[in-house]
Structures are given as C-alpha cells and as structure tokens.
Amino acid sequence: MRKLVSLNMLKIGQTLSVRELSGPKDIKYKLYDLGITKGVKLTLISKSPLGDPFNILVRGYNLAIEKELAIKIKGTLL
C-alpha cells in the first residue's frame, strides 16, 4: 500500500489521487462542495510564494484553496 501524502506536500506539477479527507464535518462538506471527493485527481498548478493559497486543477477547472484545507486532503501520488 502506498503512503498517503497531504496536498500541501506536493511539488508543482505533481498529481494526487484523493484517498482521505480529514477534519470536522463542516470542512469535509466544504471540500465536497468544491468537487473534492475520494477518488478524484488533483494536480498542483502553483503555490503562492508564502505558501498560501494553493492553485490546483480539479475536475477540469482551476481552484485556489487555503493551506488549512490543503492539509486536510490526503492521497497517493500518481
């Protein structure tokens, strides 16, 4: 079994297959509303120089998320 890594640990251009969403229900629901669910693939497009926000490609669209949310998304590298 591959080791799970959080989205905030990715390098630009790396892709993650989501396996786990952590945190309280309100955080999980926010991620679901953004289209981030188990099994979806996320690609890190860019990071702000200060590390927040993260620009990711998810389901064909660009999305900027806070580092606080990126830490909650874990998966396997593709």
Is residue 17 pLDDT above 70, yes or no? yes
Rg (CA), the chain: 11
- pTM score, whole prediction: 0.86
Model confidence at 12, pLDDT cuts 50, 70, 90, reads: very high
Is residue 1 pLDDT above 70, yes or no? no
pLDDT at 74: 96
Which domain CATH number covers 46? 2.30.30.90
- Residue 25 sits in which domain range? 5-77
Residue 75 burial by Cβ neighbours in a 10 Å radius (0-12, 13-18, 19+): buried
pLDDT per position as a tens digit, 23-76: 999 999 999 999 999 999 999 999 988 878 999 999 999 999 999 999 999 999
CA 13 to chain centre: 13
* Total structural domains within the chain: 1
Cβ atoms 16, 10 nearer than 8 A: yes
Cβ atoms 21, 39 nearer than 8 A: no
